[in-house]
Amino acid sequence: MAKMWAGRTDGVTDRIADDFNSSIAFDSRMFRQDITGSMAHAAMLGKQGIITPAEAETLIEGLAGILADLESGALAIDPSCEDIHMFVEQVLTERLGDVGKKLHTARSRNDQVALDMRMYLRDETDAIMQKVRDLLEAILGQAKENRAVTVPGYTHLQRAQPITFAHHLLAYAMMLLRDLDRFSDCKKRTNVSPIGSCALAGTTYGTDRRFEAAELGFADICRNSIDGVSDRDFCVEFLGACAILMMHLSRFSEELILWSSWEFKFVELSDAYTTGSSIMPQKKNPDMAELIRGKTGRVYGDLMALLTTLKGLPLAYNKDMQEDKESVFDALDTVKMCLDVMTPMIGTMKTLPQNMKAAAQKGFINATDLADYLVKKGMPFRAAYKIAGQLVSYCIKEGTVLEELPLATYQSYSDLFGEDVYGDIDLDVCVKKRISEGGTSPDSVDAQIRYVEEVLNHGEHIH
Ligand code: ARG
């Protein structure tokens, strides 16, 4: 069949070229945005007298009918159409006759597709943000339950200092708050209407871009029509926010995988989010967490793909830009899927406080507190640090721990040591003493929980 754009050419193309050129397989998911956008366009054309009010009414009703039929399944997408824009216009013209052909007045697919993408991403950004909030709630639930559970804190994956498990979890909450902030910030630049930019240069018709933008809930309009049709920064920013979010989910997944190993056994993931092995009967594998970690690479790829597509493009629209969709859709589908799995996996995760505590008791993670004890008694920190180090090395040699060394041994290293040293190096005490803002004591952790709740309940996170 000849194309709707037949004219300059006869519109007859090779089937392989058609398949190559077509985007309907992936852009039909924007049918709601495309139709809603067209309804606002028809309303604007009618209001401005570019078409008659009666024609506008007919177009709007026709579009509403197509939307309803697509929603109900009465109308199927025709895969032989070039893209969703052509499909809707074709059905409209089939149903309404010549009036249907007036819809595309003072518009181009170039501003139309940019409009659809912005509307689609606005909605998807909201959906992702809601899922991030759900994950934050799951983390808060675990943090509250494990508020005073002592666990080793690590640097270089070596036991470093005792912390509370809640404190560790809340580090992820802070990352996710920043993710929310990034999505909401990028939404500000997404929520700007390109429609009315037309092919690239604007139009001779007396359009009202602001009316059309307001109808569609946009906060502003693109101020330069060339930029309006060639800007995909909002897609790149969105992908950037997705990539950073995935990096966070991936780090979290990595820890879940470590923590559920026999070597750590700090947590047990629910059977619902693990799998068995086809050969080894004893296995319980954290496949979901591994897949989240794995899928992070693919979202990074989506970001790189779009950046690379855009880097050499002259202004304004180029067909290369059709490639924005698969990257953006793949990333948002992946992010949503990962969040959908992560949230209940965290919510149902069982923590094993005894094992956490036992791990904290090995590895001399109270050595800093031992040095601090001597500082409190008047010794300069460097000297205290050295003695604490010598005592650790003595313990390792003797196969014992700081808590079990007799006082006489302590005193052979410094006469500043007294009975009270044992209280100071008790792990729970070490944790409770770290009362600095943002620190690991249960009180500091409570303040962090309150902060996260406050941001979740009262909106924007500023940092
Ligand atoms: N399917 C196209 C895309 O996704 C729509 C815009 C086509 N515009 C054009 N001048 N060929 O980018």
pLDDT tens-digit series, residues 325-349: 999 999 999 999 999 999 999 999 9
CATH code (residue 173): 1.20.200.10
- Note whether 92 and 175 are same-domain residues: no
- Note whether 332 and 427 are same-domain residues: no
Ligand 1 pocket: which of 109, 324, 329 to mutate (most atoms within 8 A of CB): 109
Q: Domain of 91? A: 17-105
Ligand 1 pocket: which of 5, 27, 83 to mutate (most atoms within 8 A of CB): 83
- Note whether 348 and 321 are same-domain residues: yes
Mean pLDDT of 233-259: 98
Percentage of residues in the chain having pLDDT higher than 90: 91
Q: Distance, CA 321 to ligand 1 centroid (Å)? A: 8
Ligand 1, atom 4, lies closest to the CA of 322
- Tell me, yes or no, whether 460 lies in a domain: no
- Tell me, yes or no, whether 8 lies in a domain: no
Q: Which of 294, 295, 274 is nearest to 285 (CA)?
A: 274
What 3-state DSSP class applies to 334?
Answer: helix
pLDDT 10s digits, 407-461: 999 999 999 999 999 999 999 999 999 999 999 999 999 999 999 999 999 875 5
| pLDDT band, very low/low/confident/very high, at 11 (cuts 50, 70, 90) | confident
DSSP string, 241-286: HHHHHHHHHHHHHHHHHHHTSTTT--EE--GGG-B--SS-TT--B-
Ligand 1 pocket: which of 5, 104, 322, 324 to mutate (most atoms within 8 A of CB): 322
- Note whether 151 and 60 are same-domain residues: no
Alpha-carbon span 340 to 288, nearest angstrom: 11
- Tell me, yes or no, whether 316 lies in a domain: yes
Q: Distance, CA 110 to ligand 1 centroid (Å)? A: 6
CA 461 to chain centre: 15
pLDDT at 463 over 60: no
Contact status, residue 170 vs residue 143, Cβ threshold 8 Å? yes
Give residue 220's region: left, alpha or beta (phi > 0; psi -120 to 50).
beta
- Note whether 67 and 124 are same-domain residues: no
Alpha-carbon span 402 to 363, nearest angstrom: 10
- Note whether 217 and 352 are same-domain residues: yes
- Note whether 266 and 128 are same-domain residues: yes
Contact status, residue 48 vs residue 207, Cβ threshold 8 Å? yes
Closest approach atom of ligand 1 to CA 199: 10
- Note whether 330 and 420 are same-domain residues: no
Q: Distance, CA 104 to ligand 1 centroid (Å)? A: 14
The number of helices, as runs of H, and strands, as runs of E, in the chain is: 19, 6
DSSP string, 211-232: HHHHHTT-SEE-S-HHHHHH--
pLDDT in the model for residue 59: 98
Q: Which of 114, 38, 68 is nearest to 328 (CA)?
A: 114
- Tell me, yes or no, whether 139 lies in a domain: yes
- Note whether 244 and 284 are same-domain residues: yes
- Give the chain's domain count: 3
Q: Which of 122, 273, 107, 70 is nearest to 194 (CA)?
A: 107
Q: Distance, CA 61 to ligand 1 centroid (Å)? A: 25
- Tell me, yes or no, whether 329 lies in a domain: yes
pLDDT in the model for residue 2: 72
DSSP string, 348-379: TPEE-HHHHHHHHHTTTTTHHHHHHHHHHTT-
Closest approach atom of ligand 1 to CA 317: 10
Higher pLDDT, 119 or 9: 119
Q: Which of 28, 189, 195, 44 is nearest to 109 (CA)?
A: 195
Q: Which of 432, 433, 436, 431 is nearest to 448 (CA)?
A: 436
pLDDT 10s digits, 390-404: 999 999 999 999 999
Q: Which of 88, 105, 122 is the last residue before a domain boundary?
A: 105
- Tell me, yes or no, whether 3 lies in a domain: no
pLDDT at 151 over 70: yes
pLDDT in the model for residue 461: 52
Residue 374, φ and ψ in degrees, nearest 5: -65, -35
Q: Distance, CA 205 to ligand 1 centroid (Å)? A: 22
Mean pLDDT of 81-101: 97
pLDDT in the model for residue 256: 98
Classify strands 350-351 and 267-268 as parallel, antiparallel or unpaired.
antiparallel
pLDDT in the model for residue 9: 79
Residues with CB under 6 A from ligand 1: 23, 27, 83, 109-110, 113, 317, 319, 321-322
Q: Distance, CA 319 to ligand 1 centroid (Å)? A: 6
Closest approach atom of ligand 1 to CA 82: 1
- Note whether 154 and 246 are same-domain residues: yes
- Note whether 377 and 231 are same-domain residues: no
pLDDT 10s digits, 299-324: 999 999 999 999 999 999 999 999 99
Alpha-carbon span 388 to 187, nearest angstrom: 53
Closest approach atom of ligand 1 to CA 321: 12
Output helix, strand, coil percentages for the chain, rounded to the nearest 5.
Answer: 65, 5, 30
Four-point Cα dihedral 107, 112, 114, 117, nearest 10 = 160
Q: Which amino acid is at 232?
A: R
Alpha-carbon span 398 to 396, nearest angstrom: 5
CATH code (residue 77): 1.10.275.10
- Tell me, yes or no, whether 244 lies in a domain: yes
Q: Which of 105, 129, 151 is the last residue before a domain boundary?
A: 105
pLDDT in the model for residue 258: 97
43-64 burial: b if 16+ Cβ within 10 Å, else e: bbbbbbebbeeebbebbbebbe
Q: Which of 247, 459, 234 is nearest to 338 (CA)?
A: 247
- Tell me, yes or no, whether 10 lies in a domain: no
By CB atoms closer than 10 A (0-12, 13-18, 19+), residue 446 is: middle
- Note whether 268 and 169 are same-domain residues: yes
Q: Which residues are catalytic?
A: 156, 277
Q: Which of 315, 338, 358 is the last residue before a domain boundary?
A: 358
Contact status, residue 7 vs residue 15, Cβ threshold 8 Å? no
| pLDDT band, very low/low/confident/very high, at 52 (cuts 50, 70, 90) | very high
pLDDT 10s digits, 263-297: 999 999 999 988 887 777 777 899 999 999 999 99
Mean pLDDT of 71-94: 97
| pTM, full prediction | 0.93
Q: Which amino acid is at 262?
A: W
Ligand 1, atom 12, lies closest to the CA of 322
Specify which residues 161 forms β-bridges with: 153
